[in-house]
Amino acid sequence: MTEMDAGLVAEQIAQSDQLNEPTDRSEVGRPRRRKEDTRLLTGRTQWTDNLSRPGMLHVMYLRSPMAHARITRVDVSGARDLPGVVAAFSGEDFAAEQGSLPCAWPVSEDIVIPDHPPMAVSEVRYVGEAVACVVATDRYRAADALDAIEVDYEPLPAVLDMNEALADGSPKVHEAGNKAFSAKITAGDVDAAFEGAPVVIDRTYVQQRLIPSAMEPRAVLADTDGESFTLWTSTQIPHVLRVMLAMVTGVPEHRIRVIAPDVGGGFGSKLQVTAEEVLGLLLTRKLGKPVKWTESRSEGNLTVHHGRDQIQHIRLAADADGRIRGLQVDLLADMGAYLMLVTPGIPMLGASMFNAIYKMDAYEFACTGVFTTKMPTDAYRGAGRPEATFAIERMMDELAAELGMDPVEVRRRNWIRHEEFPYTTISGLTYDSGNYEAATDKALALFGYDKLRAEQSDRRDRGDPVQLGIGVSTYTEMCGLAPSRMLGEANYGAGGWEHGAVRMLPTGKVEVITGTSPHGQGHVTSWSQIAADALGVPFEDVTVLHGDTAIAHKGMDTYGSRSLVIGGVAVLKACDKVKDKARRLAAHVLECSPDDLEFEAGAFKVRGTESQRTIQELALAAFTAHDLPDGVEARLDSEATFDPENYSFPHGTHLCAVEVDTETGMVKIRSYVAVDDVGKVVNPLIVEGQVHGGIAQGIAQALFEEAVYDADGNLLTTTMADYLLPSAADLPGFTLDRTETPATSNPLGVKGVGEAGTIASTPAVVNAVVDALRPRGVHDVRMPCTPERIWRALEAQAPEGVRP
Amino acid sequence: MIPAQFDYARPASLDEACQALASDEDAKVLAGGQSLLPLLRMRLAYPSTLVDVGRLPDLKGVHDRGDHVFIGAMTTHDEVVRSGVVTAGCPLVALATAMVADRAIRHRGTFGGSLAHADPAGDLPAVVLALDGVLVARSAGGEREIPAADFFVDYLESALEPGEILTGVKIPKLGAGWGFHYEKFHRTAQSWAIVGVAAAVKRSNGAITEARIGLTNMGEKPLRARATESALRGVELGDQVRLACEEAAADTSPPADLHAQPDYRRHLARVLTHRAVRTAAGSP
Ligand SMILES: Cc1cc2nc3c(=O)[nH]c(=O)nc-3n(C[C@H](O)[C@H](O)[C@H](O)COP(=O)(O)OP(=O)(O)OC[C@H]3O[C@@H](n4cnc5c(N)ncnc54)[C@H](O)[C@@H]3O)c2cc1C
């Protein structure tokens, strides 16, 4: 490994600063402050819980204290008589109308999709499942009345461990058994790859269960005028939810309107059709009144779908020079008690990602989905891809250690070279573009890799109680979910297109309507930048409407780092259509042929003359419609739907240095460098924010977070004192930079960035921790790498009778 | 997360507060609410009335009383940290208080509330125990003083009788030759100590002449590491100090919870005691 000289580093940094400068006058590429923020930061927000409707009632749910039990009796009558209580219901009261919460992704032929009543009727299968509810004039009375509900349970055995759940004779979560599905994908000759391989590495990694902790807890407000229903809900997916609510409850779709007002984060947890949303709709239908529910943080920890939770058995075969021959992946994926919206699809999103950026001869992926008596799992930032990236990036470090090679060098020998793009991987995806060399070289230079390695060996030689570890993660991911055709092949229940509409108002201002549903990502700003460039109008003249099925009538919402690469492109395409229309109108007004017009800085000019009309002027002409050419309809507006031909494949290199106090096991992140390649960048400030938060969330999995159930199936981590989220005080400053290899799969050249940081960072941190401890014989620490786990790992390796 | 119904009273004087408590045995004192309200919200406590003493002027403020510093029970953590009297007279208290929770909580939580709550995981009980503080309590029946060694009785249980209000704490000043340190081991900046060690060490002519060590979260109540304290007496800095600190977990019964098992806590107590004593003794 050669460290780049300081001059080259300075040049690279100067170059990257230029990335932040807009080219000529364009808005795209400019680090615009977010339009959303003044309002958000000054408290003029419309969180669902802030909303109020005349005569509004409040519902609170009574939740199962049992992981698994038969419900033998529910008596809500005691609650009904209490002051302020309007109604109280049990599951029986909804049984005829509540349907079953949907699973839209039957990933295999053998999949078992159990009935999932929004309110349990005869059996509960996880602690926190709703069994009854009280509707009252305020939350306080509703909460008090819950104490008056009587429920008798007949305990059934909890099923908590995936391996035990699959063993013969295990108690069952559902009649059909504990296996939800199995899937297998093979490419190349796996046996041949492993047979006679000079190096075979065999590891089992545990992806602990995580609780997505959006800043805004979930809330639902449902109202009706007697015919139609409006649901305000803290969701990422108002459009999908509307369809699903209609399908689940039988309320006709055209009578349902879903509004996602300001939504304070989701990270996948609000990519769901929740029990409380369905029940909210049913309650307002029963009572004819607006009904609101807002969860508490503890209620959320119990009942927001969880993330990750896999046991990963990985085998890797390599040649003596480090070249990978084959990779075998066998996953157990904890589904929890039911299959929710895309539960079984989550591990399958990793199916084509374990091979990552590497070339190999053979690949096998097998996955078994397992039912347990825990909260269902589902999408959580990265969804399947962080799990895959973790496993392969950990294995690459293990391979390097096994061969005594530098972990960066081992990766270089295996990754797809820049000149090989587009490249079809062993698992069948075609990566359109990438430059792993450039991102890695830049990261190494910023990190001071060689210097840190020197310090590491010095500390090892000295036997310093504080050891230095260096972790590498050269990741890619597939995002921009997703080409509809590919989703169809994967048996997913919907398409992956996105819609955008553009309306130029009579005064020349612009309304962009998007089918994406931002909840912190800053679409209002980025979409404004795209439209401002495309239409040649000022950034300030653009507003963006979203998150209401009556306003944005067509959309597939926000998840899977899809919004810019699909929704942003749809906006661009709609702008192009508006511009075409404006050109015809301009030609008519200026009495020339459309071909004689050039469009520059928002104006159509007749080539070689001074005659021109701005697009904003034309908007008025299109509004008055006094003199429109044949075939041109009034108003400058249009819409477009974009369906990508491929996923988007951002990539990058993350490097982490940790100091591990071997006496206490405490880990301190000393430095963290991330060089990401997310293609063309619309707003570098927003990209930086996404990467920043993403890294924090990935570090949180590596070092802090874990949802823990006890032996009876009770969740122990119901508060933030027990479920540890790091804050700014616990994290280092990150050194962020980028390379720009444009995507070829969309006209903006952009790749998704929403999940990249989370996907990349977890293995970088754990690799660093293990790297620090490797001379002491440690080759793995289970996540989160708590001080206690690190201490125990060291203790286990300490020679008899020697206590460090 | 919604407490059961309770009444709220904010008496205008300490006497009134004592009366309010004497007349209702299910009433509870409310200070900063940072420990009590979570209990109420989780419906682990059902008091009839909260008697809010947080704004009683008699209970607030810090006073230099010559041989000791008097800290009014309702002085907030933030006020303690900023008090020149505390920094000068009992700097260990300031050091440890600055590590309690986060800034928002330090603006509401109080010194007296922390002690009355008698949480062995709280940072201040071990500090007051190590410094041989004396707690002053008032009730309708009068005033009494309780040495810290007698004050902490069991998990979340202090020697305060029902109806008694903690009015303040006397912290004896350490004379010349004393050094001090608080080692708090926790995973995130605002979380509770997995283990904490408060150490005050007196040296003369290079050797340790006296050491007082308080342990946070090593049992049902804050503890003194007596074995280490006596092993340190007369010891020169160096290996002997390390050996003495090996006794730090003697006679402890640390809890098992999500953050640590007892054996790991014992190990931490030894390592952290060594670090705290070394720092207190002025050696790096
Ligand atoms: C998120 C969080 C993190 C925290 N982290 C830490 C930490 O790291 N370290 C730490 O030490 N503490 C921590 N705390 C606790 C904090 O220090 C509290 O301030 C303290 O425990 C209680 O003080 P209070 O004034 O809020 O008392 P309250 O909550 O009002 O009262 C606590 C108890 O003491 C009783 N009481 C209070 N005052 C009196 C009085 N004058 N006389 C008689 N009885 C009284 C009350 O009746 C109640 O039973 C944390 C709290 C929170 C919420």
Give the mutation candidate from A60, A663, A669 for the B interface (greatest B CB count, under 10 A). A663
Q: What is the mean pLDDT of residues A533-546?
A: 98
**Which of A582, A617, A642 marks a domain boundary?**
A642
- In chain B, residues with a C-beta closer than 8 Å to the C-beta of A296 are 1-2
Residues A605 and A729 reside in one and the same domain: no
Amino acid (1-letter code) at residue A292: K
**Model pLDDT for residues B42-57, shown as the tens digit of each residue:** 999 999 999 999 999 9
Asked whether the beta carbons of A126 and A375 are under 8 A apart, the reply is: yes
pLDDT of A421: 97
**Given CB atoms, is B259 within the 8 Å cutoff of chain A?**
yes
pLDDT of A800: 61
Number of the ligand 1 atom closest to the C-alpha atom of B45? 49
pLDDT of A4: 44
Which CATH number belongs to the domain containing residue A301 in this structure? 3.30.365.10
**Model pLDDT for residues A206-231, shown as the tens digit of each residue:** 999 999 999 999 999 999 999 999 99
Within a domain: A149? no
**Given CB atoms, is B195 within the 8 Å cutoff of chain A?**
no
Report whether pLDDT(A804) > 50: no
- In chain A, residues with a C-beta closer than 8 Å to the C-beta of B44 are none
**Which of A624, A642, A660 marks a domain boundary?**
A642
Contact B191 A721 (CB under 8 A): yes
Contact A144 B258 (CB under 8 A): no
Give CA–CA dist A89/A287, Å, rounded: 12
**Closest Cβ–Cβ partner in B1, B185, B188 for A726:** B188
pLDDT of A254: 98
- Distance from A721 to chain B by nearest Cα, in Å? 7
Give CA–CA dist A545/A558, Å, rounded: 14
Contact B189 A299 (CB under 8 A): no
Kindly tell me the number of DSSP H helices and DSSP E strands found in chain A: 22, 28
Residues A594 and A654 reside in one and the same domain: no
- In chain B, residues with a C-beta closer than 8 Å to the C-beta of A730 are 188-189
Contact A143 B2 (CB under 8 A): yes
**Given CB atoms, is B88 within the 8 Å cutoff of chain A?**
no
* Residue-by-residue DSSP string for A740-792: ----SSSTT-B---TTHHHHHHHHHHHHHHHHHHGGGT----PSS--HHHHHH
**Given CB atoms, is A49 within the 8 Å cutoff of chain B?**
no
Residues A465 and A613 reside in one and the same domain: no
- The residue in chain A having the minimum alpha-carbon distance to the alpha carbon of residue B195 is A664
Asked whether the beta carbons of A335 and A369 are under 8 A apart, the reply is: yes
C-alpha distances in angstroms, A18 versus A13, A226, A740? Answer: 9, 58, 11
Of A551, A547, A557, nearest to A233 by C-alpha is: A547
pLDDT of A17: 47
**Per DSSP, which regions of chain B are E strands?**
7-9, 28-30, 49-52, 62-65, 68-72, 134-139, 142-147, 152-154, 157-158, 165-172, 178-185, 195-204, 207-216, 223-224
| Structural domains in chain B, sorted by start | 7-52 (3.30.43.10), 57-171 (3.30.465.10), 179-280 (3.30.390.50)
pLDDT above 90 covers what percent of chain B? 96
pLDDT of A665: 98
Within a domain: A592? yes
Contact A791 B264 (CB under 8 A): yes
Report whether pLDDT(A23) > 90: no
pLDDT of A799: 74
Residues A664 and A803 reside in one and the same domain: yes
Report whether pLDDT(A643) > 80: yes
Q: What is the mean pLDDT of residues A277-303?
A: 98
Residues A709 and A624 reside in one and the same domain: no
Residues A453 and A557 reside in one and the same domain: no
Within a domain: A93? no
Within a domain: A100? no
Q: Atom 20 (ligand 1): residue with closest C-alpha?
A: B114
Give the mutation candidate from A62, A63, A724 for the B interface (greatest B CB count, under 10 A). A724
Dihedral angle sign, alpha carbons of residues A435, A440, A442, A443: positive
Q: Atom 6 (ligand 1): residue with closest C-alpha?
A: B101
**Model pLDDT for residues A84-100, shown as the tens digit of each residue:** 999 999 999 999 999 99
**Which of A642, A658, A686 marks a domain boundary?**
A642
Kindly tell me the number of DSSP H helices and DSSP E strands found in chain B: 12, 14
Q: What is the mean pLDDT of residues A575-581?
A: 98
Q: Atom 28 (ligand 1): residue with closest C-alpha?
A: B33
**Given CB atoms, is A788 within the 8 Å cutoff of chain B?**
yes
Domain that holds residue A773: 416-424+431-478+649-804
Report whether pLDDT(B284) > 70: no
Give CA–CA dist A270/A248, Å, rounded: 18
Give CA–CA dist A61/A303, Å, rounded: 11
Residues A571 and A596 reside in one and the same domain: yes
Domains held by chain A: number:
3
pLDDT of B206: 86
Q: Atom 53 (ligand 1): residue with closest C-alpha?
A: B34
Residues A382 and A241 reside in one and the same domain: yes
**Given CB atoms, is B242 within the 8 Å cutoff of chain A?**
no
Which of B40, B51, B105 should be mutated for ligand 1, with most atoms under 8 A from CB? Answer: B105
Report whether pLDDT(B261) > 60: yes
pLDDT of A798: 80
**Model pLDDT for residues B104-146, shown as the tens digit of each residue:** 999 999 999 999 999 999 999 999 999 999 999 999 999 999 9
Residues A291 and A336 reside in one and the same domain: yes
**Given CB atoms, is A729 within the 8 Å cutoff of chain B?**
yes
Report whether pLDDT(A6) > 50: no
Q: What is the mean pLDDT of residues A468-488?
A: 96
User: pTM of the predicted model, to two decimals?
Assistant: 0.96
**Closest Cβ–Cβ partner in A147, A708, A788 for B261:** A788
**Closest Cβ–Cβ partner in B1, B185, B267 for A296:** B1
**What is the rounded average pLDDT for all residues in chain A?**
95
pLDDT of A30: 96
Report whether pLDDT(A10) > 80: no
Of B155, B148, B194, nearest to B170 by C-alpha is: B148
Report whether pLDDT(B58) > 70: yes
pLDDT of A14: 52
Within a domain: A569? yes
**Model pLDDT for residues A244-258, shown as the tens digit of each residue:** 999 999 999 999 999
- ipTM score assigned to the predicted complex: 0.96
Residues A187 and A304 reside in one and the same domain: yes
- The binding-site residues of ligand 1, defined as CB within 6 angstroms of any ligand atom, are B 28-36, 38, 53, 73, 100-101, 105, 109-110, 112-114, 116-117, 122-124, 160, 165-166, 190, 192
Within a domain: A729? yes
pLDDT bin (cut points 50, 70, 90) of residue A2 is: very low
Within a domain: A656? yes
Contact B187 A664 (CB under 8 A): no
**What is the rounded average pLDDT for all residues in chain B?**
96
Report whether pLDDT(A131) > 50: yes
Report whether pLDDT(A797) > 60: yes
Token pair belonging to A634: 């009034």
Contact A704 B187 (CB under 8 A): yes
C-alpha distances in angstroms, B93 versus A145, A480, B86? Answer: 45, 54, 7
Report whether pLDDT(A233) > 50: yes
Report whether pLDDT(A755) > 80: yes
**Region at A249 (left for phi over 0; alpha for psi -120 to 50; beta for the rest):** alpha
Number of the ligand 1 atom closest to the C-alpha atom of B124? 11
* Residue-by-residue DSSP string for B21-54: HHT-TT-EEESS-TTHHHHHHTTS---SEEEE-T
Residue A109: burial class (beta carbons within 10 Å; 0-12, 13-18, 19+): exposed
Residues A761 and A660 reside in one and the same domain: yes
**Model pLDDT for residues A420-463, shown as the tens digit of each residue:** 999 999 999 999 999 999 999 999 999 999 999 999 999 999 99
Residues A317 and A173 reside in one and the same domain: yes
Within a domain: A549? yes
pLDDT of A729: 92
